[in-house]
Amino acid sequence: MPEKKQGSSDKVVGGNVDITRRTFLHKSLLTGGAIATGSAVGFFQTLSSMEVANAAGESFSFAWVSDTHLYPQTLNQRFIDKATRAFGEVQAMGSEFDFMIFGGDLAQRGDPVELELGAELLKEVTIQKHFIPGEHDWYLDLGEAWNQHFGESPWSFEHKGVLIIGLDTVGSAPDYWSARGMTPKERMGHMEALDGSQAGPWSGLGSKNRQWLSSALSDWPKDAPVIIFSHTPLWECYAPWNFWIRDWRQVHEIIAPWQNITNVHGHVHQPLYNEIGGMRSIGMLATSWPWPYAPQGVPEITKPMLRVDPGDHFDGVGWGKLSMADGYMDNEYMMWREQVFGTTRADSGTGDNQNQVLSPRIADRGWTGD
Amino acid sequence: MLNTKTKGLLALVTVVVCVSLAFAFMVNRASAHKVAHDSETLQAFTDAFMEQVIRGDNLFHGGTEPGINLSNTGMACAMCHPFSSDIHPHEFPKFQEQMSEFATLRDMINWCIEKPNEGEIIDPDGEQMKALEAYMYWSNRGSVLDPGRH
């Protein structure tokens, strides 16, 4: 695994962790706190961003782009156009950002042509870039091309008083291919379908990465801020779509002593927010397309996105701008539409979940190879 | 005026057609629900249904069949609708906003094929449409019928 990298500042912040009003409102809603629910909801839902706390430290901003899911250009220009737009906007605002994180799923089928296309498009962004892989980047050649282009994960560095960690949550899937004699293309094909039955609980850190995480955190002050980037969320949102890491309980045991952790993740293609212990978790947009929300719904403290128009390729997608200013980190969804969140059943992306009983797909359950 | 020979021929044809229709009607009536269903028969019905569900599942997840082209973008239905979610087949027919008209599930399936997927619409009464419909309903079984809901 790569050595721990050192960022542009080695300053360690040991001040108290503050909580912004918005985050406080989250907690109040979750626990039935003292604030009147009606007014809290009314205020909360007028906001288009979520703040997380860091009471001290220098200001900085960074950009998040993920889930471009590029096909070869001969097959799909649409996803190229959207990735290009995101990278162009990041570059146009480049002077505001200390770095950009690409959060995985650059490619759709792990095809070297797709990864090379992505690498070419990413040249548009000239600020410092960091990368973590997604499953679509990985399972054709088990990460070989990805690592050649974008380097290995996990990694960490300190930046202006914040420990920044990039995890690999995709590369340690239990082997579902060898016993069945799958070709690399077949292995990738089963990984490609979010709702497939064969790839199983592929998302996780695994023991090696958990040991690395424990080591990376070991000398960091317990009250100092940590940002963990991961492709998949570090909590159990919806296991059948791998909206989780399978070993989240073990990971939470590792991170429990640190009380100011922000997990920023991709994969879900939707605004998603949760708080567990000292960790807050923010789901980011894709540039490619939005996933529907998980069938069982979302945490109460998530503001669901507005329903999107499937006829508009640029609707419900975008990138993220995260700023640490005046001691607080603010996440702004740079969605390519005016209104981000839905507040009524008719407008909410979760509005129909209450009358939707779903079954896992069936056609791939008896798959034995062609 | 028809001559006697022609009249006789017409009468014969009429009798033959009527007898044939009556026979066909009687045969059809006699072929269903005249005896209690045994488990093998019920299983055969289920198998016939599930065969179409699996066929629809494959098409929904990017499978192809001769004579149709569901997508020209690489995208499959399941990429926006894992587990067939966010389709809500039980809420059709309804006014469909994207189409600005009252629409059936089959209308919406063809809209998605043509617009987001940039494929070629399929016969609304064809085998593939029925299979896609079967998969969507099967995936959403247990949801409450609520036609017209947005």
CB pairs below 8 Å between A and B: how many?
92
pLDDT band at B18 (very low <50, low <70, confident <90, very high): low
B58–chain A nearest CA distance, Å: 6
Give the pLDDT confidence score for residue B32 in this predicted structure.
80
Inter-chain CB proximity A356 and B88 less than 8 Å: yes
| Residue A34 within any structural domain of the chain | no
Inter-chain CB proximity B54 and A241 less than 8 Å: no
| Nearest partner of B74 among A118, A80, A315, A242, judged by Cα | A80
- Smallest Cβ–Cβ distance between A310 and the set B73, B91, B112 belongs to B112
| pLDDT, tens digit (0-9, with 9 covering 90-100), for B85-133 | 999 999 999 999 999 999 999 999 999 999 999 999 999 999 999 999 9
Inter-chain CB proximity A310 and B75 less than 8 Å: no
Inter-chain CB proximity B115 and A311 less than 8 Å: yes
Pick from A69, A241, A309, A358 the residue to mutate for testing the B interface (most B CBs within 10 Å).
A358
For residue B143, list chain A residues with Cβ-Cβ distance below 8 A. 355-357
A46 touches chain B (CB under 8 A): no
Work out how many domains chain A is built from and give that number. Answer: 1
For A328-362, b where at least 16 C-beta lie within 10 A, e where not — what string?
bbbbbbbbbbeebbbeeeeebbbbbbebbebeebb
Q: Which residue in A has a C-alpha nearest to residue B76's C-alpha?
A: A193
Task: Please give the residue that has the higher pLDDT: either B82 or B3.
Answer: B82
Which residue ranges in chain A fall short of pLDDT 70? 1-56, 325-328, 366-370
B98 touches chain A (CB under 8 A): yes
Give the pLDDT confidence score for residue B15 in this predicted structure.
72
Q: Which residue in B has a C-alpha nearest to residue A109's C-alpha?
A: B74
| Residue A342 within any structural domain of the chain | no
Task: Please give the residue that has the higher pLDDT: either B2 or A189.
Answer: A189
| Residue A349 within any structural domain of the chain | no
Q: Where residue A108 sits, what CATH number does that domain have?
A: 3.60.21.10
Give the pLDDT confidence score for residue A343 in this predicted structure.
84
Domain that holds residue A65: 56-288
What CATH topology corresponds to B70-144? Cytochrome Bc1 Complex; Chain D, domain 2 (1.10.760)
- Smallest Cβ–Cβ distance between B57 and the set A292, A346, A363 belongs to A363
| pLDDT, tens digit (0-9, with 9 covering 90-100), for B26-81 | 555 567 888 899 999 999 999 999 999 999 999 999 999 999 999 999 999 999 99
| Residue A19 within any structural domain of the chain | no
B37 touches chain A (CB under 8 A): no
Q: How is chain B split into domains, by residue range?
A: 70-144
Q: Tell me how far apart the alpha carbons of residues A265 and A281 are, in angstroms, rounded to a whole number.
A: 8
| Nearest partner of A66 among A180, A181, A230, judged by Cα | A230
Inter-chain CB proximity B144 and A355 less than 8 Å: yes
| Residue A3 within any structural domain of the chain | no
